[in-house]
């Protein structure tokens, strides 16, 4: 009996230690007074330092929205640039509280690598960037080509799958980071460069003569990009998921950074009132206060405002919303009910 009791005590201690190791991110962030977020090393439109050294971009704004909801200050974020091969382990090891970094949601990553994905913020697909002078019009014409690709990404496997499925041979030239891969492509080390199409558009804009390069028409994969958190902390996962979901819901309901205060004061719509905390207390479900979503919207705007600010008409990238539009407009962005 004593041995059994001792065994149960040891097991209980192990479980308690495991729970404490993988829970409490909200409390940790509040205690630090800052959110630590992994981002890319620099991809225009997604995350890049501006002329003052301040990080800006679509992924950056997602993190600032979480900081606004949790810490009441969107500037309370420490951004940690991560290479592709670091973006998963940085989260699972606790180096960062959150990664908002063009990361594809896959079964292996979600089920085996110690992370949980939240809400898909950008539906993407893999493509190819190639110099116009080569005269290639289709990815199926790449037989014998050398292709610059980044290590630790889904693009390596997708490239191999595409070549095998289409009966062509390509040489994958692998680099640790996207900057290195892009620079190698720009110098002529590779015939073409492959990654997500949104990033191809972004990185093409940094080349000496962007118009001398084209993105081939084929989309060879599905790349649902989503922020990720450490596995095992359900409350923190819920917070990040529902902040982003709330930004989509705000766009669905016409709530913007400019009008959120007015709508909060005047709206009689029960859905809107629940979202903005004037009816009920949805924040309590997350361990937050009633105005968690109001602060996030004030800080960065709704999903559509964020998208247009970094990818919309008038930007250097000008990437059409397409499947990233609201479901009401034929896209895939759909907010779960806040109730």
Q: In this model, does residue 12 exceed pLDDT 90?
A: no
CA angle 119, 202, 180 (to 5 degrees): 100
Spatial separation of the C-alpha atoms in residues 117 and 67, rounded to whole Å? 18
Of the given ranges (18-32, 94-108, 321-335), which has the lowest mean pLDDT? Answer: 18-32
What distance, in Å, lies between the first and last C-alpha atoms of the chain?
Answer: 49
Residue 237 parent element (H or E): helix 234-252
Spatial separation of the C-alpha atoms in residues 166 and 183, rounded to whole Å? 28
The residue count for the chain: 339
Q: What pLDDT shows up at residue 3?
A: 47
**What domains, with CATH codes, occur in the chain?**
25-121+226-329 (3.40.190.10), 125-224 (3.40.190.10)
Q: In this model, does residue 11 exceed pLDDT 90?
A: no
Spatial separation of the C-alpha atoms in residues 255 and 227, rounded to whole Å? 23
Smallest CA-to-CA distance from 148 within 184, 117, 96, 114 is with 184
Q: What pLDDT shows up at residue 178?
A: 87
CA angle 66, 68, 71 (to 5 degrees): 95
Q: In this model, does residue 142 exceed pLDDT 60?
A: yes
Where helices occur in 94-216 by DSSP H, the ranges are 107-112, 154-165, 178-186, 197-204
Q: What pLDDT shows up at residue 242?
A: 98
Contact 140, 166 (CB under 8 A): yes
Q: What pLDDT shows up at residue 174?
A: 95
Dump pLDDT digits (tens) for 166-196: 999 999 999 988 889 999 999 999 999 999 9
Q: In this model, does residue 20 exceed pLDDT 70?
A: no
Q: What pLDDT shows up at residue 84?
A: 87
Average pLDDT over the chain reads 93
- Which pair of tokens denotes residue 338? 């806040």
Contact 301, 257 (CB under 8 A): yes
Q: In this model, does residue 16 exceed pLDDT 90?
A: no
Q: What pLDDT shows up at residue 152?
A: 79
pTM: 0.88
Q: What pLDDT shows up at residue 22?
A: 46
Q: What pLDDT shows up at residue 14?
A: 41
Q: In this model, does residue 1 exceed pLDDT 70?
A: no
Q: In this model, does residue 23 exceed pLDDT 80?
A: no
What percentage of the chain has pLDDT greater than the value 90? 89
Smallest CA-to-CA distance from 202 within 323, 38, 104, 56 is with 56
Dump pLDDT digits (tens) for 221-245: 999 999 999 999 999 999 999 999 9
Residue 70 to residues 39, 55, 242, 283: CA-CA distances in angstroms?
19, 19, 12, 10
Q: What pLDDT shows up at residue 153?
A: 85
Q: What pLDDT shows up at residue 177?
A: 87
Q: What pLDDT shows up at residue 257?
A: 98
Q: In this model, does residue 160 exceed pLDDT 60?
A: yes
- Which pair of tokens denotes residue 81? 């640039």
For the CA atoms of 258, 264, 270, 275, the dihedral, rounded to the nearest 10 degrees, stands at 70
């Amino acid at each position: 009996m004593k041995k059994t009791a001792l065994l149960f005590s040891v097991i209980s201690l192990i479980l308690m230690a495991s729970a404490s190791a993988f829970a409490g991110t909200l409390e940790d962030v509040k205690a630090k007074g800052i959110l630590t977020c992994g981002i890319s090393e620099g991809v225009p439109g997604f995350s890049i330092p501006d002329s003052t050294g301040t990080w800006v971009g679509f992924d950056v704004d997602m993190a600032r929205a979480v900081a606004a909801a949790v810490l009441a200050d969107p500037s309370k974020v420490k951004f940690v640039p991560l290479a592709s091969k670091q973006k998963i382990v940085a989260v699972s090891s606790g180096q960062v509280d959150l990664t908002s970094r063009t990361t594809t949601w896959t079964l292996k990553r979600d089920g085996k690598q110690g992370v949980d994905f939240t809400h898909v913020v950008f539906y993407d697909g893999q493509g190819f960037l190639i110099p116009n002078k080569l005269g290639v019009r289709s990815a199926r014409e790449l037989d014998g080509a050398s292709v610059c690709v980044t290590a630790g990404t889904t693009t390596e496997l997708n490239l191999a799958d595409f070549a095998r499925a289409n009966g062509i041979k390509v040489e994958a030239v692998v680099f640790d980071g996207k900057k290195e891969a892009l620079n190698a492509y720009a110098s002529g080390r590779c015939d073409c460069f492959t990654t997500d199409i949104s990033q191809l558009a972004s990185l093409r804009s940094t080349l000496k003569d962007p118009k001398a390069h084209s993105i081939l028409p084929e989309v060879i994969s599905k790349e649902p990009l989503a922020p990720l958190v450490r596995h095992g902390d359900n409350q923190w996962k819920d917070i990040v998921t529902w902040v982003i979901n709330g930004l989509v819901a705000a766009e669905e309901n016409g709530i913007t950074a400019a009008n959120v205060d007015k709508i909060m004061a005047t709206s009689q719509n029960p859905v809107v009132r629940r979202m903005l905390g004037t009816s009920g207390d949805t924040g309590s479900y997350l361990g937050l206060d009633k105005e968690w979503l109001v602060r996030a919207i004030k800080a960065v705007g709704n999903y559509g405002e964020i998208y247009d600010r970094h990818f919309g008409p008038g930007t250097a990238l000008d990437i059409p919303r397409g499947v990233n539009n609201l479901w009401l407009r034929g896209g895939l962005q759909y907010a779960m009910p806040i109730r």
